[in-house]
Each structure stands twice: as structure tokens, then as C-alpha cells.
């Protein structure tokens, strides 16, 4: 029955037969608890199996069928769940240093001069700190998704904090822009008007265009993204909040946010380039419409947002004239080599 469903034919070649056999061996290992609890994954590039993985798990139970990229994130989250942050094979870092290197490799144009302890804190140091916390919050949501412990409270907690951090990062960039270009306008004494949002930052952005038209074009091209995050933060922090729901199916209970009443959120997510997933019912940004409800999977969403944010922020700094930090280091500098190794060898996001 399984082979018929996956390959839609009665006679299988040896490769197809081996793929089915591997699945049942994997299932047997799970049933007899040969794997550690939750520490199992079936990694494949077989499109037929990946396209049918939801059906397979309904019939056979939890299998954790994943692509190579998904399994790398899963293994990284499992290690962090066990309080181990791997930067490479047999190479452990403390948590703070792991996330600092993760930030450094994702935002290469972050290049703020070092200061003495008593020196004035640069606004972009706040940017870096918030980005590091954002990467941590993303992983905390992922760990709750795969290895739940009080996730009904912990996922909303980290999700709301994640949204606040993104808006804080936007504000840091706006403040640095105002400072760099000596921007002034009526009402610039009101902090909320120094903003990348087209609504609250209307006059600020008008001045940005005069100082750096290319930067203003870059901000405009991410207008839907900026608006989406600002609206979601308003909902989560200042308004009604998101309704969380437990969704039960044949393989267990999953945690989602229900966003049918927040129509503008759904529209903006689609405007940000959301598209169907290759193998799942949830879109790449985590949306699933089952007719009665519109679900948002927090982990998929924060990954999509973080990917977008990385591209936006690094190019923003580049357009502001910041050069790549590693280019300031000697070719054989130890930290330069460490960052390169981290970028090539780390498993997670």
C-alpha cells in the first residue's frame, strides 16, 4: 500500500524498493526505541517520499522525514536543546559567542570601530545586540516546535519578543541614518517619527531621499515587509494579540497562531513574496488556510522573516558606506579564519 501510494505503480525498480525498505527500517528503529527520544530523522532527496511525507506520517506515525537543509537545522536545534552549540565537527562554542559569530557571518557589512569601555556606545552596537537576540529567539521557537516543553507559553513569548526585536533593528538603522546624514525636519524631536515606516516616518524618509536616493529606493522596495512587522508588533504588543491554537492530527498536537481575523497580515505576507512550499501544506512563510481557519506556523514565519531581514540589513549598511568587516582583517588573521570556518561548517540558521 505504501509503495503504491508513493510511486503509483505495482512493480518497483531496485532503487524505489530500497527507498521503501529504508523507510520501514527507520520506522522499526523508532518503534523499538533504538534511537534516543526525539533524536531521529530520515534524510532524503527522494521527491516522491518528500511529497508524501505528511501522508506517510499519518499512516506510520512520526518519522521526521526531511530534506538535507531541514535536517541540518533540526540537528543544530537538537544539539542546542542538549545545551551544545556546535560551530563545526567536535567544535563547541559558548552560546553567546556562537550567536555573535552567527550575526557576524550574516551581516558582513556590520563594521563599527571598537571603543574603549568608557566610550560612547554606537547605535549600531544596539543593532548588533538585538540581531544576536533575534537569532536566539528564532532558535528557541524552533526548539519548542521540535522538542516541546511548555510551548503553549514559550512560543508566544519568544514570538512576541522576536517581533519587538525586528522593529528595534529597524529603529536602530533609522537613527544611524539620521545621525550620519545630519537629517533634520519638523517634529524630529519625536522619536516615533524617525522611522523606516512610510506612515510614521513620512518626513524622515523624504529627507533620506535627498541625502541618499539609492538608500531610499532600497527602503521602499521593502515597504511591505517593514509594514508587516510593524502591524504584527502592534497586534502582539499593543492590541488584541494573536490567537494561539493547538492542532491535533494523527501524529500528535502542533502549535499554531490563528490569523484569519488579521486580514491585513495575510495580505502583506503574500506581498512579501510568500509562495507554496515544495512539499508541505504550509506556505514558505508558514500560512495554511483550511477554509475555517488561517493558521500561521511561528517557526516557518520567523525563518522567512529572518532571511528577509538579513538581506535587507546588510545591503542597507552597504548603501550607507560600511565596508565588510573581514576585509579589514589580515589574510591570515585568526578571527577571519574562524568566521569562514563557522560560515562553512555550522548546521543551523
Q: Considering the chain, what is the average pLDDT of its residues?
A: 92
The stretch 114-135 carries a mean pLDDT of: 86
The stretch 283-303 carries a mean pLDDT of: 91
What cell does 302 get?
520567523
The stretch 299-323 carries a mean pLDDT of: 97
For the chain, how big is the Rg over CA atoms in Å? Answer: 23
Interior angle at CA 85, CA 79 and CA 87, nearest 5 = 115
pLDDT band at 213 (very low <50, low <70, confident <90, very high): very high
Backbone angles phi, psi at 142, to 5 degrees: -60, -40
Q: Regarding predicted confidence, which is higher, 4 or 19?
A: 19
Rounded percentage of the chain residues whose pLDDT exceeds 70 = 95
Does position 114 have pLDDT exceeding 80, yes or no?
A: no
The stretch 236-249 carries a mean pLDDT of: 78
C-alpha 91/C-alpha 85 separation (Å) is 8
Tell me what pLDDT residue 181 has. 97
C-alpha 227/C-alpha 225 separation (Å) is 5
Does position 249 have pLDDT exceeding 80, yes or no?
A: no
Rounded percentage of the chain residues whose pLDDT exceeds 90 = 78
Q: Regarding predicted confidence, which is higher, 10 or 233?
A: 233
pLDDT band at 256 (very low <50, low <70, confident <90, very high): confident
Q: Regarding predicted confidence, which is higher, 268 or 38?
A: 268
The stretch 275-284 carries a mean pLDDT of: 93
In this predicted model, what pLDDT tens digit does every residue of 70-111 receive, in sequence order?
Answer: 999 999 999 999 999 999 999 999 999 999 999 999 999 999
Does position 119 have pLDDT exceeding 70, yes or no?
A: no
Tell me what pLDDT residue 156 has. 93
pLDDT band at 112 (very low <50, low <70, confident <90, very high): confident
What cell does 3 get?
509503495
Q: Which of 231, 239, 243, 236 is nearest to 269 (CA)?
A: 231
C-alpha 166/C-alpha 230 separation (Å) is 9
In this predicted model, what pLDDT tens digit does every residue of 174-212 receive, in sequence order?
Answer: 999 999 999 999 999 999 999 999 999 999 999 999 999
pLDDT band at 120 (very low <50, low <70, confident <90, very high): confident
Query: Quick one: 229 exposed, middle or buried, by C-beta within 10 A (0-12, 13-18, 19+)?
Result: buried
Does position 251 have pLDDT exceeding 60, yes or no?
A: no
Tell me what pLDDT residue 242 has. 85
Amino acid at each position: 500500500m505504501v509503495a503504491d501510494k508513493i510511486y503509483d505503480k505495482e512493480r518497483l525498480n531496485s532503487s524505489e524498493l530500497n527507498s521503501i525498505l529504508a523507510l520501514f527500517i527507520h520506522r522499526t528503529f523508532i518503534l523499538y526505541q533504538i534511537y534516543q527520544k526525539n533524536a531521529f530523522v530520515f534524510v532524503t532527496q527522494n521527491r516522491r517520499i518528500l511529497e508524501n511525507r505528511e501522508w506517510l506520517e499519518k499512516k506510520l506515525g512520526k518519522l521526521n522525514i526531511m530534506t538535507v537543509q531541514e535536517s541540518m537545522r533540526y540537528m543544530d536545534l537538537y544539539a542546542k536543546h542538549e545545551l551544545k552549540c556546535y560551530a563545526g565537527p567536535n567544535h563547541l562554542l559558548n552560546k553567546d559567542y556562537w550567536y555573535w559569530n552567527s550575526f557576524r557571518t550574516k551581516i558582513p557589512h556590520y563594521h563599527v570601530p571598537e571603543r574603549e569601555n568608557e566610550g560612547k556606545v554606537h547605535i549600531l552596537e544596539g543593532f548588533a545586540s538585538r540581531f544576536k537576540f533575534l537569532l536566539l529567539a528564532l532558535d528557541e521557537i524552533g526548539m519548542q516546535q521540535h522538542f516541546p516543553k511548555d510551548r503553549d507559553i514559550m512560543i508566544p513569548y519568544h514570538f512576541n519578543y522576536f517581533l519587538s526585536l525586528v522593529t528595534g533593528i529597524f529603529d536602530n538603522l533609522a537613527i544611524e541614518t539620521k545621525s550620519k546624514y545630519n537629517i533634520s525636519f519638523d517634529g524630529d524631536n519625536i522619536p516615533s517619527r524617525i522611522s523606516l515606516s512610510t506612515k510614521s516616518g513620512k518626513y524622515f524618509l523624504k529627507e533620506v531621499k535627498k541625502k541618499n536616493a539609492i538608500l531610499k529606493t532600497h527602503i521602499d522596495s521593502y515597504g511591505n515587509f517593514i509594514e508587516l512587522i510593524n502591524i504584527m508588533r502592534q497586534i502582539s504588543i499593543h492590541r488584541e494579540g494573536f490567537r494561539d491554537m493547538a492542532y491535533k492530527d494523527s501524529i500528535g498536537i502542533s502549535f499554531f497562531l490563528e490569523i484569519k481575523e488579521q486580514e491585513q497580515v495575510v495580505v502583506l505576507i503574500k506581498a512579501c513574496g510568500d509562495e507554496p512550499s515544495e512539499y508541505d501544506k504550509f506556505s514558505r512563510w508558514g500560512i495554511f488556510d483550511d477554509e475555517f481557519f488561517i493558521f500561521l506556523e511561528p517557526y516557518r514565519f520567523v525563518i522567512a522573516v529572518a532571511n528577509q531581514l538579513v538581506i535587507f540589513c546588510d545591503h542597507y549598511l552597504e548603501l550607507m558606506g560600511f565596508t565588510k568587516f573581514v576585509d579589514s582583517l589580515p589574510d591570515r588573521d585568526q578571527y577571519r579564519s574562524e568566521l569562514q570556518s563557522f560560515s562553512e561548517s555550522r548546521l543551523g540558521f
